Chain A
Amino acid sequence: MASPPIPSAKELVEAPLDWVEERSGLISLNNYLLFRNVPSDISWLQTLGSALITTFAVQAVTGVILAMYYHPDPTGAFSSIQFITDDATLGWLVRGMHKWGSSVFVILLFLHMGRVFLMGSYKYPREMTWLTGSLIFLCVMFMSLTGYLLVFDQRAYWASVVAININGTAPILGPYISEFLTVGPQFSQNTLSRFYSLHMLAVPGAIIALIGLHLYLVIRLGVSSPPWSKQRAKAGEV
């Protein structure tokens, strides 16, 4: 009686992938997303978007862990920050990644926008990519505002008071925006909870949805050649 043939290592790897591919098409989708053709004369400047996604992932992961130890109430917020920084294992590192990561995010975002602007990559047919990116930019600004308060030391408190009042100086809508943010006529104990909820639930959800739309457009429309490109666009390509 012949024993069944021993599968090779290659077959051992491919068999489960084939199983997934046959039932979901995810492997070919993955290949389609990751192994796209791009112009040959693009440079490191076109990797700023990927860097931003990586930074967002870092912010999301470190933020989730920080939320496990953070207490979003006026009496406990700062002491929980002290616990994270001074006592919790590697808490100083995770908090530092989140804190400095937020600055990295904003810096990369400006560089990415500058690259797209200076190379004219926002032009037809990529206007919607630019617009969704602009919405992500606004969300990130709002993340920076709401995140700053959460440390809840004197600097965070007064900086947020000033920022909320700057919102209040917008004509007509300003007073309503600032009262929405403070949950009442003045800074109250609900302000911190509101900022926390916006910072960790509402705005990140919006950013994830917008990144999805942004990436869909990037993949659908392809990466643009730089303005000095010698390559001629083939028919049907832009």
Chain B
Amino acid sequence: MADPSGGHTGLDAAAGAAGAYADPASARAAVSRGRFLTGVTLGIGGLIGAAVAVPVVGFALGPSFSGEDWYWTDIGAVDQFTNKYQAVLYENGPGGNMDRRVVFVRKDSDNPVSFTVLSNTCMHLGCPVELKGNSFACPCHGGQYNSEGKRTAGPPVRPLNRVETNLDAVPGHLLVGRSFASKVDDNGKVYMSDTWKQPGQPVQGLLSFLYPAPPR
């Protein structure tokens, strides 16, 4: 009977008169040749698989969550805007047609100069809303918004996004950047937040916790 406490017994037995015969209770018999080779094959195969899978999965997922290329766009002189909404088409990134955006621009006051810039993306499922007089309507599923971009009817879950503005970069000109989710404060007033979520995802209330915002 082999000594169960040490691994040397098997080696000794193999080296002894028994020759190729290994004591079934010895450490040598505990891992058979077949089991050892199976384990090594699975282990090395797993390493090779991981070496392929990690970069491939990282490459497939990474670009989706590493933000976007964008730049400030000069959409014209401050003077050309009035207190009535005007639709403006511009590109705010290097993607050509794919980075084409439409905003509705309204000058709120001349001194100091301030603007309300609404994105035309419906906050139901992302169709473009159209300007109807002083309010907005979505042709896809009937969402309606008032002049502040607040939902008045239909399925949208939140107000129209607002777009960040820059009046300093080019004196006398209005520059627009990315859009951010609008929120409604306790007095019912709409303001631009610093969060961004896709259409259809609430940004306020209990349901907003169901929609984590991936990094932008």
For residue A148, give the distance in angstroms from its CB to the closest CB of chain B.
15
Q: Chain A's nearest CB lies how many Å from the CB of B81? A: 25
Binding site for B on A (CB under 8 A): 74-75, 158, 161-162, 164-166, 168-169, 171-172, 174-176, 178-180, 182-191
Let me know if A165 and B65 touch, CB within 8 A: no
CB atoms of B201 and A168 under 8 A apart: yes
Interface residue? B61 (CB, 8 A): yes
Set of chain A residues within 8 Å of B216, measured between Cβ atoms: 185
Point out the residues of chain B lying under 8 angstroms from A165, CB to CB.
125-126, 198-200
Q: Using Cβ atoms and an 8 Å threshold, which residues of chain A touch B2?
A: none
B49 at the interface (CB under 8 A from A): no
- B43 close to A (CB within 8 Å): no
Q: Does B90 reach chain A (CB closer than 8 Å)?
A: no
22 contacts between A and B (CB under 8 A): A74-B95, A74-B96, A161-B126, A162-B125, A162-B126, A162-B127, A164-B126, A165-B125, A166-B125, A166-B200, A168-B200, A168-B211, A172-B210, A172-B211, A172-B212, A175-B214, A179-B64, A179-B214, A180-B61, A182-B64, A184-B67, A186-B198
B108 beta carbon closer than 8 Å to chain A: no
Are A185 and B201 in contact (CB-based, < 8 A)?
no
Q: Within B173-203, which residues are at the interface with A (CB < 8 Å)?
A: 196-201
In the bound complex, what is the Cα–Cα distance between A172 and B128 (angstroms)?
Answer: 25
In the bound complex, CA of A74 to CA of B96 (Å): 9
Is A187 within 8 A of B63, CB to CB? Answer: no
Which B residues lie within 8 Å of A175 (CB)? 197-198, 201, 211-214
Query: B54 an interface residue at 8 Å Cβ cutoff?
Result: no
User: Interface SS of chain A: helix, strand, loop or mixed?
Assistant: helix
Contacts of A184 in B (CB 8 A): 63-64, 66-68
Residues of B within 8 A of A (CB): 61, 63-68, 95-99, 125-128, 140, 196-201, 210-214, 216
The prevalent SS among residues of B at the interface is loop
A186 cross-chain contacts in B, Cβ below 8 A: 68, 198
Distance in Å: Cβ of A144 to nearest Cβ of chain B? 18
Bound-state Cα–Cα, A204 to B45, Å = 26
State A172–B197 Cα separation when bound (angstroms). Answer: 13
Q: Report whether B211 and A174 are in contact in the complex, using a CB–CB cutoff of 8 Å.
A: yes
A188-B198 in contact (CB<8A): no
Contacts of A178 in B (CB 8 A): 198
Q: How far is the CB of A173 from chain B (nearest CB, A)?
A: 9
A172 partner residues in chain B, CB cutoff 8 A: 210-212
Query: 20 new A-B pairs (CB below 8 Å) besides A165-B199, A184-B64, A186-B198?
Result: A75-B96, A158-B127, A158-B128, A161-B127, A165-B126, A165-B198, A165-B200, A166-B200, A168-B199, A168-B211, A169-B200, A172-B211, A176-B65, A183-B63, A184-B68, A185-B67, A185-B196, A185-B216, A188-B98, A189-B95
- Whole-angstrom distance from the CB of A157 to the nearest CB of chain B? 9
Residues of A within 8 A of B140 (CB): 158, 162
**Of B63, B96, B212, which is within 8 A of A190 by CB?**
B63
Minimum CB–CB distance for A91 against chain B, Å: 24
Question: Which residues of A are found within 8 Å of B196, using beta-carbon distances?
Answer: 185
A152 CB to nearest B CB, Å: 10
For B125, the chain A residues whose CB sits under 8 A away are 161-162, 165-166, 169
Of B126, B201, B211, B212, chain A has the most CB atoms within 10 Å of the CB of B126
Chain B neighbourhood of A75, CB < 8 A: 96-97
Q: What residues on B are CB-neighbors of A176 within 8 Å?
A: 65, 212, 214
Please name all residues of chain B whose beta carbon is closer than 8 Å to the beta carbon of A179 when the two chains form the complex. Answer: 64-65, 198, 214
Which residue, B128, B197, B210, has most C-beta atoms of chain A within 10 A? B210
- Across-interface contacts of A182 in B (CB, < 8 A): 64
A183: chain B residues within 8 A (beta carbon): 63-64
Residues in A neighbouring B128, C-beta threshold 8 A = 158
Complex: how many Å from CA A169 to CA B124?
10
Chain B residues with CB below 8 A from A180, complex form: 61, 64
Q: Is the CB of B200 within 8 A of A189?
A: no
Chain A residues with CB under 8 Å of B96's CB are 74-75, 189
CB distance from A151 to the nearest CB of B (A): 15
